[in-house]
Amino acid sequence: MNRSLSTSGSQLQLKNRMSLGQSVRQSLTMAYRGLLKIKRTPEQLFDVTFQPIIFTLMFTYIFGGAISGSVKGYLPIIIPGILVQTVITTSIVTGVQLREDMDKGVFDRFRSLPIARIAPLAGALLADTVRYTIATVLTLAMGYILGYRPDGGFDHVVIAAILVIVCSWAMSWIFAFFGVIARTASSVQGISMLILFPLTFVSNSFVPVKTMPDWLQWFVHVNPISHLVTAVRQLANHGTIGSDFAISLIGAAIIVAIFAPLTVRAYMRRT
């Protein structure tokens, strides 16, 4: 009875649940871990560095003349489009890296610690917003170099950028879900690309919707990516916040509401 098992054992307050405050703090610690990892392996940032530069150059000069008659006239259309496409594509990597990370022994330790089950996931996703920010800044900078001068002004461009980052973060929960349920990292990449390609291309990102057949137009109009692109265009080019802005945020919230619990559950079940 009087045997002391451990110095801290008696002081432990044993609870079977984590408070919200604890969960947030643990997620932030996991995000700190993610940032340290990015700092240690900067080669992880290759894609977010070069993709914005190459894609912006490529699409602007390939489609510019054909669609808008001139590169300069195409920039207000393509820059918001390419911004959304690039940053959201970047969020696939979140799922792939999560899968790779989970195969390592350290995730067993995370699972055996008395921490909120969502913390390792939320932390990884949070740290990746750094990647989205880099991609966003670089795409906008490329646009500026090519001659894009958004009429909405700097402040509205910043709001647009934040909107894109928030929506990409929401989307990354989908890929995180694939990351948790898939067997290998490369299959995560495969499934995610398969979903993201139609979503980003069958939208108003690159071309006027009117040139598409009716049935495709229907899809473009329901495609959340189109709404996000429209919201960014309105903000950057006109300085207005319209219904598309709200639809994008609501869409993002719905995605998180569905996929965050699904992902956490799948993560807990995974053996």
Partner 1 sequence: MDRVLRSVPDGYDWAIEARGLVKIFGDNRAVDGVNLNVRAGTIYGVLGPNGAGKTTTIKMLATLLRPDGGSARIFGHDVVKEAQIVRQLIGVTGQYASVDETLSATENLVIFSRLLGLGRKEARRKASELLEEFGLTEAAKRPLKHFSGGMRRRLDLAASLIAQPPLIFLDEPTTGLDPRTRAQMWDTIRRLVKTGSTVLLTTQYLDEADQLADRIAVIDRGRVIAEGTADELKASVGTSSLQLRVQNQGDIETARQMVERMLKVRAIVSPEAGKITAPIADADRVADLLITLREAGIRLAEMSVQKPTLDEVFLTITGHGVEDDAKKASHAPDGVEAM
Which residues sit at the interface with partner 1, rule CB under 8 A? 1-10, 12, 14-18, 22, 26, 29-30, 32-33, 36-37, 40-41, 104-115, 119, 269, 271
Long-range Cβ contacts of 218-223 (<8 Å, 24+ apart): 223/199
Nearer to partner 1, 149 or 269 (CB): 269
Q: Shortest distance, CB of residue 25 to partner 1, whole angstroms?
A: 8
Name the 3-class secondary structure at 241.
coil
Token pair 């330790």: residue? 109
Q: Shortest distance, CB of residue 234 to partner 1, whole angstroms?
A: 41
Tally of CB atoms within 10 A around 14: 6
Q: Shortest distance, CB of residue 90 to partner 1, whole angstroms?
A: 20
> Assign residue 148 a region: left if phi > 0, alpha if psi is -120 to 50, beta otherwise?
beta
Of the candidates 212, 214, 246, the residue with the CA atom closest to the CA atom of residue 228: 246
Degrees, nearest 5: CA angle 67-70-74: 60
Nearer to partner 1, 152 or 179 (CB): 179
Nearer to partner 1, 28 or 212 (CB): 28
Nearer to partner 1, 110 or 148 (CB): 110
Q: Shortest distance, CB of residue 102 to partner 1, whole angstroms?
A: 12
